[in-house]
Amino acid sequence: MTSGSATDPAHAHHDPAPSHHDPAHGRAASPAVSAGSAGLAHVDTAIWTRGLTKRYGARRAVDHLDLQVPRGALSGFVGPNGAGKSTTLRMLLGLIRPSAGHGHVLGEPITEPDRYLHRVGAMIEGPTFHPGLSGRRNLDQLAVLRGIGGWHRARRQRRVEEVLGQVGLGERADDRFSTYSLGMKQRLGIAAALLPDPCLLILDEPTNGLDPAGIREIRALLGQLAGGGMTIFVSSHLLTEVEQICDHLVMINGGRMLFQGHVTDLLAAEDPRILMIPEHDGDARRLAGLLGDKGLRVEIDLRTGPPNASATRGRLPVVTAHAPEGLAAHLNRLAMHAGITLRSLRTHRPNLEETFLRVTGEIDGDLVRTAQAGQAPDGSVPPPAGAGLDPAHSRGGAT
């Protein structure tokens, strides 16, 4: 996949690096990107890069990345371990120099980070604070170091109180940092990043190592900050989190762009499916043939059944038709007319995690193969057999 912005004519002449469509550049681009923010110029974006590349020896940690994160977005930056997320964030923050390519942050070139860093808050590694000092004292010292409030002590202290309130640490602000939970430590790290009242917040895996309650806290905090108009670019490997809080997504693998755009665009492009389990195992092939004859792409997989399943060795053949939800009743009718009774029929649209796995090529596109009976690929429990059927036709269909 590639970004729609790769063809931005306004900036094409600046690009010193080959596009990642360039056949000479190696691997073919992954299939189909929908980029909801395609064609944004760097003035409309908080983060904009062209051909951004970082090489370590022969290895390309980041490989011709064309980023465009719209202003005001809560954007999730996702990719497997080693995908190049941290390296990208470090280049955006002027911590390391790109090997090739160029970019802008808040409209300023990344070659001159001094021009934008005072408007950027960042938490790149786990926050480091003095363990023996309180949260408030730690923040105050950081504020002094960063010149927050200038020479005005009261102004600086006011800002410290504001950020403590924003991250919900006001009541524990006088406790020593060493007594904080991991979630509180992360929130203090975000408070530190907020000190300069940034318009762009860059966070590298802020939920790393947190328990579900801590993750929820960070999620709520980011939602609240984004609601205030700040652009947030947050890397994460927790896709369910990203799906829940981010409106925009940048997906990379092997340093290369797989997708960027709106989460809803990515999910809408996913192939909806109808999953059917015939009452008699022997009917699975016949059902698949029947649906295949109607022009549908169909697969049969074996799914481990519940302990009391009557199916052979506890394995149930699942017939998956790549078809929209609206066809469910029709497929049920087709099965019924062929004398095939369905023990279950349900629709499924891949979630972000499945989409991510498919796009990154870690599986071949059908997570249903690995799902356990009683649990959908997204972890949800499927509806009881027969649920979702057209009542008018349910008698002879699924039971």
Ligand X SMILES: Nc1ncnc2c1ncn2[C@@H]1O[C@H](COP(=O)(O)OP(=O)(O)OP(=O)(O)O)[C@@H](O)[C@H]1O
Positions in the binding site for ligand X (CB under 6 A): 56, 61, 79, 81-87, 237
List the alpha helices (DSSP H) in 76-205: 85-92, 135-145, 153-166, 182-194
SS3 (DSSP) at 185:
helix
User: Residue 79 Cβ, how far from ligand X at the closest point, in Å?
Assistant: 5
Q: Which is nearer to ligand X, 123 or 287 (CB)?
A: 123
- Please give the single-letter amino acid code of residue 332: N
User: Residue 284 Cβ, how far from ligand X at the closest point, in Å?
Assistant: 40
- Distance (Å, rounded) from C-alpha 137 to C-alpha 129? 10
**Sign of the dihedral defined by the CA atoms of residues 371, 374, 379, 380, in that order:** positive
User: Residue 85 Cβ, how far from ligand X at the closest point, in Å?
Assistant: 4
Contact by Cβ (8 Å): 220, 139: no
The encoded tokens of residue 284 equal 């699975």
Q: Which is nearer to ligand X, 70 or 79 (CB)?
A: 79
Alpha-carbon distances, residue 348 vs 8, 317, 343 (angstroms)? 36, 16, 16
Q: Which is nearer to ligand X, 249 or 284 (CB)?
A: 249
User: Residue 82 Cβ, how far from ligand X at the closest point, in Å?
Assistant: 4
Neighbouring CB atoms inside 10 A of 113's CB total 17
User: Residue 232 Cβ, how far from ligand X at the closest point, in Å?
Assistant: 17
Q: Which is nearer to ligand X, 82 or 132 (CB)?
A: 82
Q: Which is nearer to ligand X, 69 or 277 (CB)?
A: 69
Neighbouring CB atoms inside 10 A of 232's CB total 25
- Distance (Å, rounded) from C-alpha 142 to C-alpha 12? 41
User: Residue 209 Cβ, how far from ligand X at the closest point, in Å?
Assistant: 13
Q: Which is nearer to ligand X, 57 or 228 (CB)?
A: 57
